[in-house]
A and B are shown apart, each in its own frame.
Chain A
């Protein structure tokens, strides 16, 4: 059986589960639009919906330096999380979690990343399970112009976001191109005084709808594996139609929505300063996109699994440092590695700052999103997938408590994903495959 068939089968199973085939634990869908206090209200009087995001960085952090000392409320940020000090009350730390390899040969750097983002380990290189963001986007992203938005700060187009082995969401690498996609000519300002549907959009929708009618005839010509690929195409077509439909409707006013200035092009390179600059540009645009109701799911890749970033003029990449640099016995850390990790946390701080700087009523965009940190190793020096650094940021619109450290020694990283999905109202009772399958919600952080 080919990987596509396997993927498709699993996907169907998951879709079945999401349609209620498995015990439903999630909150009713409409609650997804209400926050805890009902204070972050849109101008229409409706509560603003919760959102989801991922922020990915290769090579993780250094074990022993990112875990708070005590369980429960985080009173003091550990050394490697100091750059996030301003967000101590909006972060959750989950320590001691691991990826179970079962019988899969470890593909260094790839396996950990895929398992954290997809809840399990596929059998072949390009095979993959649906990543958590696509499962969530299928649930909360169907009524926004963009089901999700993916960006990458190091010039690589891979976003760790995929629906199946054959459908990986490409990352945008140019901030200027992202600006055009979101705030270019097709953007409908929700706060504009006048609204006139664009005839060209109407004509485009009419053409797309017509082409969508060919689905059945084309499916009949194909074998089963290719039918699932074509099915993905027509799903994409419906998403595009949906996007045009939304552009033809007067959007609900959103007080916090402002259109940012046109973005700079960015540098899309693997020099860490450049990646950090691009991350700032992207984060600002994505924060505005969330505030303007353009999407509810964002994926940011600061650096890929395996860590390709480097400093200008140095022949040694972050990755090479993790393997070659001796641990300094005086501090118990690899100094250069720790420096790169600090830069990554500073970049993450930039993203959180961008989300937190847009106020919506009494809260901020960060308050109604939940971001999941993703990485590939727990200790890059040895390619370990144990003690993976796992974090969430933001309270999902009051659906998650924050400022908490949960030690979860020996548990699968899938618990974090499952908890987020349930907090966002997805009707799922378990997530993951093989030993990375779990039905154990992290109740300590559920509001």
Chain B
């Protein structure tokens, strides 16, 4: 059997029992999902290259969680703030395909080995040394359904069976020949690219919608960060996804599953630029505690906090910037100076324990004071209020901070031994008196300076070079005295809410919202606010909408031929 009941990776957080009440209420309301939703013209269907975690999740779902994926994927690019949007721009290079091919062959060889073959193969070949077209056809059709997120066409299946047959003849081994054809599927464009297809909408003549399988794909990748499972594919095949009842049933099923945590994690990893952790390091001599393990733990700490606030507690998205709750393990405890007892035996992984900062703790300022933000947006050996402020503007408010101009004199900014300018604030103020620099630094630095109590490796400090750090400032007319108050200002800033909604929709659709989706986006934002800024409700509004599956008339060769 295709293994869709795979055990999830071990986490100590509570499982998410999500919105069962809301789901029931919505089903009972029946057919009301689009009642007040404004019409949307949609955008063109997109073609997205699979992101590495999506690739890994699919392989684990289909072939088993213990399949090792060796090699490195082509680097992704970030567009409009998201890798998920950049995925709609990238292709595959020659050296990149060679690496996909090597990864695919490695996976296929494991999938047909004696340990895993029963999961993959619904049949036993008549001979292990000769082609068995019938058996190969059955197995390739079944794996293909999940790899391609749709049934293979007759031509596709014939080609793959013939490829397996020819390879078997050359190698004299059924499983090796089969594995090469399977590996070919894993590096084929139908697998590597999520290609959306559209069809005329019989309910709205003259308009187009995504076809059933493309709908299933959007749902599944957005909510679970993997390809559709068997039940969702069946709903696509039967046409049920085109009915409101069928769509609600599947959306609620996916939202109620613990796997929605994968979808939430994937979105926030993308939005918060956590891909940068792959090449991130701190200077070991200056910050000996900030090891590679701490880098990985920083990321995990924030994702756990997000899951706790948004899913487990069903909290307000904005509370991420004020919450006193987080999770710590002994390593991160040492980074922040919070004792966390090491209670496991030698060799066992350290547990994550919930931690709530006291109300008056200056570190109790939400996820922005986590190392995943303060350390990520610093230099290897020193802080940068400008980088931190820029990150808040660009990542959380979707605002663009212009690049610095050429011909700038920076000498004073980073001279930490300057006897006059002892703190980052005084150095930056001296620099920002330059007229050409003032404009941009005004929009970045005040927020970054409020975070100066956190050094470049997230450690807490109150002085720099013996001088007390001044963390006061203001943005957009709102005054704050420290990081905790900055968190509240960010919490209340309307750009933060609007930005999240834009990012989530762009992430799910693989592109920025189009002009024709303007009214729909306004509706989405107001609904999010009315629902108390609840992230699961935002996901639900999107996946149960008409707008999410509405597409502009496609410009394909096939469409033009018709």
Residue B351, interface by CB 8 Å: no
Contacts of A156 in B (CB 8 A): 279
Determine whether the beta carbon of B89 is less than 8 Å from that of A4: yes
Contacts of A168 in B (CB 8 A): 75, 77, 93
Q: Which of B79, B382, B414, B554 contacts A223 (CB 8 A)?
A: B554
CB nearest to A323 among chain B residues: B410
Query: In the complex, what distance in Å separates the CA atom of A157 from the CA atom of B561?
Result: 42
A232 in contact with B163 given A219-B557, A221-B195 (CB within 8 Å): no
Residue A163, interface by CB 8 Å: yes
Q: Which residues of B in the span 65-84 have a Cβ within 8 Å of any Cβ on A?
A: 72, 74-75, 77, 79
Residue A107, interface by CB 8 Å: yes
Determine whether the beta carbon of A233 is less than 8 Å from that of B189: yes
Contact with A along B165-200 (1 / 0, CB 8 A): 011001100001100110110001110110101000
Residue A326, interface by CB 8 Å: yes
Determine whether the beta carbon of A310 is less than 8 Å from that of B408: no
Determine whether the beta carbon of A384 is less than 8 Å from that of B407: yes
CB nearest to A211 among chain B residues: B184
Query: In the complex, what distance in Å separates the CA atom of A224 from the CA atom of B557?
Result: 8
Cβ distance B121 to chain A, nearest Cβ, rounded Å: 18
Contact with A along B375-406 (1 / 0, CB 8 A): 00001111000000000000000000001111
Determine whether the beta carbon of B89 is less than 8 Å from that of A207: no
Interface segment, A312-320, A344-352, A422-430?
A: A312-320
Residue A447, interface by CB 8 Å: no
Residue B475, interface by CB 8 Å: no
Interface segment, B122-130, B131-139, B282-290, B437-445?
A: B282-290
Contact with B along A378-399 (1 / 0, CB 8 A): 0000111100000000000000
Determine whether the beta carbon of B97 is less than 8 Å from that of A237: yes
Residue A46, interface by CB 8 Å: no
Residue A230, interface by CB 8 Å: yes
Q: Which residues of A in the span 381-440 have a Cβ within 8 Å of any Cβ on B?
A: 382-385
Cβ distance B171 to chain A, nearest Cβ, rounded Å: 5
Contacts of A181 in B (CB 8 A): 98
Residue A123, interface by CB 8 Å: no
Determine whether the beta carbon of B162 is less than 8 Å from that of A203: no
Residue B532, interface by CB 8 Å: no
Determine whether the beta carbon of A232 is less than 8 Å from that of B93: yes
Residue A85, interface by CB 8 Å: no
Determine whether the beta carbon of A236 is less than 8 Å from that of B96: yes
Determine whether the beta carbon of A324 is less than 8 Å from that of B403: no
Q: Which residues of A in the span 154-210 have a Cβ within 8 Å of any Cβ on B?
A: 155-158, 162-170, 177, 181, 199-200, 202-204, 206-208, 210
Residue B411, interface by CB 8 Å: yes
Contact with B along A142-160 (1 / 0, CB 8 A): 0000111110000111100
Residue A239, interface by CB 8 Å: yes
Determine whether the beta carbon of B159 is less than 8 Å from that of A221: no
Q: Which residues of B in the span 8-23 have a Cβ within 8 Å of any Cβ on A?
A: none
Query: In the complex, what distance in Å separates the CA atom of A150 from the CA atom of B101?
Result: 18
Determine whether the beta carbon of A316 is less than 8 Å from that of B159: no
Query: In the complex, what distance in Å separates the CA atom of A235 from the CA atom of B91?
Result: 11
Residue A240, interface by CB 8 Å: yes
Determine whether the beta carbon of B381 is less than 8 Å from that of A310: yes
Q: Which of A164, A166, A207, A219 contacts B181 (CB 8 A)?
A: A207
Determine whether the beta carbon of A169 is less than 8 Å from that of B96: yes
Residue A229, interface by CB 8 Å: yes
Query: In the complex, what distance in Å separates the CA atom of A207 from the CA atom of B190?
Result: 15
Query: In the complex, what distance in Å separates the CA atom of A324 from the CA atom of B405?
Result: 16
Determine whether the beta carbon of A222 is less than 8 Å from that of B195: yes
Residue B558, interface by CB 8 Å: yes
Q: Which of A207, A269, A382 contacts B167 (CB 8 A)?
A: A207
Q: Which residues of A in the span 224-262 have a Cβ within 8 Å of any Cβ on B?
A: 224, 226-230, 232-233, 235-237, 239-240, 243
Count of A-B contacts with CB under 8 A?
Answer: 209
- Most B CB contacts (10 A, CB to CB) among A211, A270, A310 go to A211
Contacts of B408 in A (CB 8 A): 323, 382-383
Cβ distance B178 to chain A, nearest Cβ, rounded Å: 11
Residue B33, interface by CB 8 Å: no
Residue B281, interface by CB 8 Å: yes
Residue A325, interface by CB 8 Å: yes
Cβ distance B189 to chain A, nearest Cβ, rounded Å: 5
Contact with B along A285-318 (1 / 0, CB 8 A): 0000000000000000000000000101111110
CB nearest to A327 among chain B residues: B411
Residue B517, interface by CB 8 Å: no
Determine whether the beta carbon of B91 is less than 8 Å from that of A157: no
Cβ distance A211 to chain B, nearest Cβ, rounded Å: 5
- Most A CB contacts (10 A, CB to CB) among B93, B162, B170, B286 go to B93
B contact residues, total (Cβ < 8 Å): 74
Q: Which residues of B in the span 470-488 have a Cβ within 8 Å of any Cβ on A?
A: none
Q: Which residues of B in the span 393-452 have a Cβ within 8 Å of any Cβ on A?
A: 403-408, 410-416
Residue B42, interface by CB 8 Å: no
Residue B53, interface by CB 8 Å: no
Determine whether the beta carbon of B101 is less than 8 Å from that of A240: yes
Residue A362, interface by CB 8 Å: no
Determine whether the beta carbon of B101 is less than 8 Å from that of A199: no
Determine whether the beta carbon of A313 is less than 8 Å from that of B286: yes
Determine whether the beta carbon of B159 is less than 8 Å from that of A213: yes
Determine whether the beta carbon of A312 is less than 8 Å from that of B407: no
Determine whether the beta carbon of A208 is less than 8 Å from that of B184: yes
Residue B47, interface by CB 8 Å: yes
Q: Which of B166, B279, B405 contacts A210 (CB 8 A)?
A: B166
Residue A214, interface by CB 8 Å: yes
- Most B CB contacts (10 A, CB to CB) among A146, A204, A223, A315 go to A315
CB nearest to A200 among chain B residues: B171
Cβ distance A59 to chain B, nearest Cβ, rounded Å: 13
Determine whether the beta carbon of A108 is less than 8 Å from that of B283: no
Residue B92, interface by CB 8 Å: yes
Residue B344, interface by CB 8 Å: no
Q: Which of A106, A229, A243, A317 contacts B405 (CB 8 A)?
A: A106
Determine whether the beta carbon of B159 is less than 8 Å from that of A233: no
Determine whether the beta carbon of B555 is less than 8 Å from that of A224: yes
Cβ distance B450 to chain A, nearest Cβ, rounded Å: 21
Residue B155, interface by CB 8 Å: yes
Contacts of B171 in A (CB 8 A): 199-200, 203
Residue B2, interface by CB 8 Å: no
Query: In the complex, what distance in Å separates the CA atom of A316 from the CA atom of B379?
Result: 8
Determine whether the beta carbon of A233 is less than 8 Å from that of B556: no
Query: In the complex, what distance in Å separates the CA atom of A320 from the CA atom of B156?
Result: 55
Determine whether the beta carbon of A210 is less than 8 Å from that of B95: no
Query: In the complex, what distance in Å separates the CA atom of A146 from the CA atom of B94?
Result: 9
Query: In the complex, what distance in Å separates the CA atom of A108 from the CA atom of B402?
Result: 11
Determine whether the beta carbon of A220 is less than 8 Å from that of B166: no
Residue B90, interface by CB 8 Å: yes
CB nearest to A238 among chain B residues: B94
Residue A9, interface by CB 8 Å: no
Determine whether the beta carbon of A163 is less than 8 Å from that of B93: yes
Cβ distance B82 to chain A, nearest Cβ, rounded Å: 12
Determine whether the beta carbon of B283 is less than 8 Å from that of A310: yes
A-B pairs with beta carbons under 8 Å apart, 6 shown: A155-B279, A167-B93, A204-B105, A233-B193, A236-B96, A384-B407
Known interface pairs A126-B77, A165-B89, A170-B95; 19 further A-B residue pairs with C-beta atoms within 8 A, sorted by A's residue number: A106-B403, A148-B95, A157-B75, A167-B96, A169-B94, A170-B93, A207-B166, A208-B184, A214-B188, A220-B556, A221-B195, A236-B96, A243-B98, A314-B283, A314-B381, A315-B283, A315-B382, A323-B408, A383-B404
Question: Which 10 A-B pairs give the minimum distances between C-beta atoms?
Answer: A315-B381, A313-B285, A323-B410, A239-B94, A232-B91, A236-B97, A203-B167, A229-B91, A383-B406, A166-B91
Give B residues with C-beta under 8 Å from A.
Answer: 44, 47, 72, 74-75, 77, 79, 86, 89-99, 101, 105, 155-156, 159-160, 162-163, 166-167, 170-171, 176-177, 180-181, 183-184, 188-190, 192-193, 195, 197, 279, 281, 283-286, 379-382, 403-408, 410-416, 456, 554-558, 561
Give A residues with C-beta under 8 Å from B.
Answer: 4, 105-108, 126, 146-150, 155-158, 162-170, 177, 181, 199-200, 202-204, 206-208, 210-211, 213-214, 217-224, 226-230, 232-233, 235-237, 239-240, 243, 269-270, 310, 312-317, 320, 323-326, 382-385
